[in-house]
Structure 1
Amino acid sequence: MNNTYDELKDIFNNVINEYNIKPYNIKVIQNEGLKTLWKFDYDSKSMCLKRFRHTKEKIIFSVNAQRYIKENGGLVPYVYSNKAGQHITEYMGQLFVMYEWINGRDLNFTRSSDFKYGIEGLALFHKASKGYKAPEGAKISSKLGRWPEQYGSMRKRMLKWKDIANSKVSNNSYKVYLEYIDDIINLCDKALDVLESSSYDKLTQVELYESSLCHQDYGSGNAILSQEEVYVIDLDGVTYDLVARDLRKIIGKRAEKRGSWDVNDINRILDYYERNNKLTLEDKKMLKADLMFPHWFFGTIKNIFSKNKLVNPGKIAKIAKLEKEKIKVLDKWIIK
């Protein structure tokens, strides 16, 4: 339930009292349940106050990650401390953080020049995140070393859903699911085989701070172009992992929108990325394995089985075909 205007005004004033500032030009930018964002000006600077719906332990992890990246030369908003020197302010059992507001424009990832800027910015973000040690009290988020377990879990769930679909073959969505699931399971097995025969264990058996942080939701809306530099915002979901995780999501989203896989597009993305953060052959092999797994099919059909949402049978068939078609494209991709 969203707060009323008067309630939001009262909350803002009480929280802002914890900072040594007198804001003006105050606007509510976002008001979605607990997740609220106020923008305001102070001392000729734009700032914002964010109310979180996460636990304090989770916020400690992401806020301190952002502070580390900023101090390490990364382009992320500055995090302000309150009068007590704390970066998280508590009021009425709710949690707030004050950030620098980045004046600029959202990158449009469908525009080629913006997309190039975006990938170059992601590379700098990954590079600057290396070395982060989470402070005491933080709930550490890490996917490092967990891919085989996650792949296996998703594979198991899809086989379980196959049994459910077999018991209700009159359902058109289930019927289409059954038509493609065996090929999809083969893709799961292929991705797992690639991981098992790779240096994945060696690459992930490192101290967490030796790994990069992945944004997990990077794209339009989270990348701001300001004075020819790309600032990364909304770091709430950062996690320790191989950088391939963020790259896989970007490459897959583009393939999904285009309706086809393109090896030239993959190479172009890596070329942009490596201008600011070099990848090893093993890094690229990890990306290939992660692209091989049918993440996009799983993401589509879990809405039916886990969330009881209706999904058009045509959409299931379309994403299944896209998953199947990528095998020949990835097989043609020569990693250099």
Structure 2
Amino acid sequence: MSEYSSTHVKKIAKQFGIKVSAQNRIRGGIYRVVTPDGRKFSLKRMTKQTARLRWIDRMLMHVQRNGPLLAWRNPQTPEGRKPHVISRKGEIFVLTPWISGREPSPLSLTDMRACGIALAKFHKAGKTALKGGIFHSQIGTWYSTLHTRQQYIQKKIAKARANSFSRPISRFIQRNGPEILRYANQAKALLRSSEYESYRQSPRQNGVLCHGDGGPSNFILNDKGTYLIDFETVHVDLRAYDLYRVIYNSCKDYRWDFSIAKAILDGYREVTNLKKTDYKLIRVWLRFPFTTYLVLCPFKRFPFTESRLKWALDSERRISSFLQKLEEYETRH
């Protein structure tokens, strides 16, 4: 995907009816733009098709009307009347308010609790938007997603056995491949022993509107409260998936300190109760060796190096005691 010059960013913003006096590129496809009167907006390229974006917009407008704080358009304002515009390159852009504040810190249990509360409120408000047909649902895809990712890991292990990578990487994967696959198999076994089958057969009852990629970078804290931002991955799923994403993204860089997850879960439970099956389903995703999978991909933030593979495996091993603590938490609550 291409980046845009200053002139082209101004032209895209003009389609929303705003004039840009200052701008800066935040990262690929995201620009912060400022109007002459000092108002700030986020201009973001969306990779979704127009029909999917219309659905996301409809869902988020409903959630917003029901209370939760979101960085999304306000249709009562001139710049918020258009849900999206299309650039001269045919790419879709949305304009949302720029939320000033700070990212929550996993080192602050108060921040993490606030994230749990905000996520629960989002789920509660989004639940009432799911009327009629259930669209863009990933509730039934859990088996196939885990299976596809495990197959990918197996192919990489087979390549390592054939010494297709550098010698240190091939040897590391040969030595630790069975352990990595054991974690993947444990995740699938956990899924089979959960109530997932009955949950997937009742999407109307069990599905919620999911953010899809929650974590510290997708919440903003300020004097008004806790905002959710960045909605490209919004879909329908089980709430356990969203909780897993927030827990994973908050804990992976902090040596799987369970107090972080506890604060998130405590906050969530302030708004709504969690069931035994919810905890089981969170454990499914946490047990799958996702960090190792990302390094093997390679995911651009995790280079495919021996040191990264060691870091990932260390992470998977820490999750074992983390899951034990999650089970104890579930028993208490």
Task: Tell me whether the two structures share a fold, i.e. TM-score over 0.5.
Answer: yes
Match of 1:129 in 2: 126
Match of 1:153 in 2: 148
Residue in structure 1 matching 2:167, options 167, 171, 192: 171
How far does residue 290 in structure 1 lie from its aligned partner after superposition?
A: 1.9
Root mean square deviation, CA, Å: 3.2
Q: Does 1:79 align with 2:73?
A: yes
Specify the code of the residue in structure 2 equivalent to 1:58.
Answer: R
Match of 1:20 in 2: none
Q: Does 1:112 align with 2:109?
A: yes
CA distance in 1, matches of 2:249, 2:237: 19
Normalised TM-score (structure 2): 0.83
Match of 1:16 in 2: 16
Query: Is contact 1:87-1:97 (8 Å) kept?
Result: yes
Give a deviation string over 1:178-213, Cα, whole Å, max 9, x none: 211101111111111111121101112223585112
How far does residue 173 in structure 1 lie from its aligned partner after superposition?
A: 1.1
Q: Does 1:97 align with 2:94?
A: yes
5+ residue gaps, structure 2, are: none
Give a deviation string over 1:104-133, Cα, whole Å, max 9, x none: 333334333322222221221222221334
Match of 2:199 in 1: 203
Normalised TM-score (structure 1): 0.82
Q: Does 1:286 align with 2:284?
A: no
CA distance in 1, matches of 2:274, 2:39: 37
Match of 1:326 in 2: 319
Query: Is contact 2:68-2:125 (8 Å) kept?
Result: yes
> Residues 29 and 242 from structure 1, CA distance in 2 versus in 1: closer, same or farther, beyond 3 angstroms?
farther
Query: Is contact 2:215-2:250 (8 Å) kept?
Result: no
Query: Is contact 1:51-1:96 (8 Å) kept?
Result: yes
How far does residue 165 in structure 1 lie from its aligned partner after superposition?
A: 0.7
> Residues 291 and 238 from structure 1, CA distance in 2 versus in 1: closer, same or farther, beyond 3 angstroms?
same
Give a deviation string over 1:128-166, Cα, whole Å, max 9, x none: 221334899x9x533212111111111112112111111
Structure 1, 158-167 or 58-67: larger mean CA deviation: 58-67
Give a deviation string over 1:223-261, Cα, whole Å, max 9, x none: 1223241111111111211222232233334443233x4
Match of 1:7 in 2: 8
Query: Is contact 1:155-1:185 (8 Å) kept?
Result: yes
> Residues 159 and 209 from structure 1, CA distance in 2 versus in 1: closer, same or farther, beyond 3 angstroms?
same
CA distance in 2, matches of 1:105, 1:221: 9
Match of 2:237 in 1: 241
Structure 1, 170-179 or 86-95: larger mean CA deviation: 86-95
Query: Is contact 1:62-1:237 (8 Å) kept?
Result: no
CA distance in 2, matches of 1:36, 1:264: 35
Q: 3-state SS of the aligned residue for 1:231?
A: strand
Aligned residues: 323
Query: Is contact 1:131-1:211 (8 Å) kept?
Result: no
CA distance in 2, matches of 1:326, 1:233: 28
Q: 3-state SS of the aligned residue for 2:253?
A: helix
Q: 3-state SS of the aligned residue for 2:216?
A: coil
User: What percentage of residue pairs aligned between the two structures are identical?
Assistant: 22
